[in-house]
Amino acid sequence: MRILIAEDDFVSRKYLFKFLSKYGECDMTVDGIETVEAFAIAHDSGNPYDLLCLDIMMPKIDGLKALNTIREIERRKKIQDSKRCKVIMISALSETEVKVDDSKKEYEVYITKPIEIENIISAMKELKLID
Amino acid sequence: MLKGFPTRRDSIILAAIDIISENGIQGLSTKKIAEKQGISESLLYKHFDKLDDVLVAVLEYFSQFDSMIANTVIKKDISCKDKIIEYIKSFVELYETYPALASIILNYEVLTHYDHTRQMITEIFTNRLRFITQVIEIGQERGEIGHYYTAQELTDIIKGIMLATTFRWKITGYTCQLKDSVLTTIRKVLETS
């Protein structure tokens, strides 16, 4: 499994990297621009990410804007919804405050910080990335 | 760079933030933004009528998460001291990884001299202070926070710590840990209040 961890906070990033490395090859980005670029490069090289763990409050371009662009890239490449990258939003903001309409939700799972490993495992199971 | 991402408008805002961080608000001009972006000034004017509008967009960007942070923190089932820490943490965590954005808080006063930004920066600053004051008042009512300082005084101390530490962090070349320094000091103040 190929995983992209988009998280600006060093401690959270390291924590996610250590945990997720057990399940696959992890790359890390620290802002929204880097994240979209990493995603596009991975696609263009024929080695796309299976899972993206994405923070919202990131430098430069926020996670939600970055995600909209990522989904646009997938749509342009005519990737079916079932085969698109699975996205877990991980944010200090509660989901109710982020106020994304259900019809416009581009992520699969939303987890509120502090990061609990059980929540990540449960999300990955729900997304059928692990058994 | 991916075509069309970030949008030209977003790129102009990000360039303006970088210029403010490097040269101050007085050093911001449409010419400098255009140079930094490698575009003509006329293209910049397709997105913003004038420089004041860029500044307004910078402040909108700067404060885009404010109400979400406040509403998230206030609903958390934690003590009032922890709510204040969580609230401040949300800002300093972002500033630590995006130092250019932090330069805006060091320009609060300057922004009150521009007609287009005076009211906006006053509201941003006042709302952030008000949130802290309200949480302190609730904490004092519940006996979680002492009464040695009034809620207003304690708010000023907390905001002062944040501003002074951010300034020290900037002039020392971002060498200290902003988040740890700010949160450790505020925790100590709250514990001894």
**B76-100 pLDDT, tens per residue?**
999 999 999 999 999 999 999 999 9
Query: Are B68 and A60 a contacting pair at CB < 8 A?
Result: no
**B107-147 pLDDT, tens per residue?**
999 999 999 999 999 999 999 999 999 999 999 999 999 99
Chain B, nearest residue to A32 by Cα: B6
A93 contacts on B by Cβ (under 8 Å): 65, 68-69, 72
Share the mean pLDDT of chain B.
96
Query: Are A92 and B94 a contacting pair at CB < 8 A?
Result: no
User: Quick check: B46 and B37 in contact, CB under 8 A?
Assistant: no
Q: Which two tokens stand for residue A36?
A: 């979209």
Cβ–Cβ contacts within 10 Å for residue B47, how many?
Answer: 17
Better-predicted residue by pLDDT, A128 or A104: A128
Q: Which two tokens stand for residue B61?
A: 């960007």
Nearest CB neighbour to B97, from listed A9, A37, A73: A9
Long-range contacts of A90-93 (CB under 8 A, 24+ apart): A90/A7, A90/A12, A90/A16, A90/A53, A90/A54, A90/A55, A90/A115, A91/A55, A91/A56, A91/A57, A91/A63, A92/A57, A92/B69, A92/B72, A92/B86, A92/B89, A92/B90, A92/B93, A93/A56, A93/A57, A93/B65, A93/B68, A93/B69, A93/B72
Q: How far apart are CA B187 and CA B193, in angstroms?
A: 10
Chain A, nearest residue to B87 by Cα: A92
Cβ–Cβ contacts within 10 Å for residue B135, how many?
Answer: 25
User: Quick check: A62 and A91 in contact, CB under 8 A?
Assistant: no
What's the fold here for domain A2-127? Rossmann fold (3.40.50)
Please name every residue paired with A54 in a beta bridge, in sequence order, or none if there are none. Answer: A6, A89
Query: Is the sign of the CA dihedral A74, A75, A79, A82 positive or negative?
Result: positive
Nearest CB neighbour to B90, from listed A61, A92, A98: A92
CATH of B64-192, one of 1.10.10.10, 3.20.20.80, 3.30.2130.10, 1.10.357.10: 1.10.357.10
Cβ–Cβ contacts within 10 Å for residue B148, how many?
Answer: 9
Judge whether residue A99 has pLDDT over 80. no
Structural domain boundaries in chain B:
8-57, 64-192
Judge whether residue A102 has pLDDT over 80. no
Bond before B6 cis per omega within 30 degrees? yes
Q: How far apart are CA B83 and CA B86, in angstroms?
A: 5
Q: How far apart are CA A100 and CA A106, in angstroms?
A: 9
Pairing of strands A86-91, A109-112: parallel
Chain B, nearest residue to A60 by Cα: B14
Helices B66-74 and B115-141: angle between axes, nearest 10 degrees: 10
Query: Are B98 and A65 a contacting pair at CB < 8 A?
Result: no
Chain B, nearest residue to A34 by Cα: B1
B13 contacts on A by Cβ (under 8 Å): none
What's the fold here for domain B8-57? Arc Repressor Mutant, subunit A (1.10.10)
Query: Are A36 and B2 a contacting pair at CB < 8 A?
Result: yes
**B50-60 pLDDT, tens per residue?**
999 999 999 99
* pTM assigned to the model: 0.94
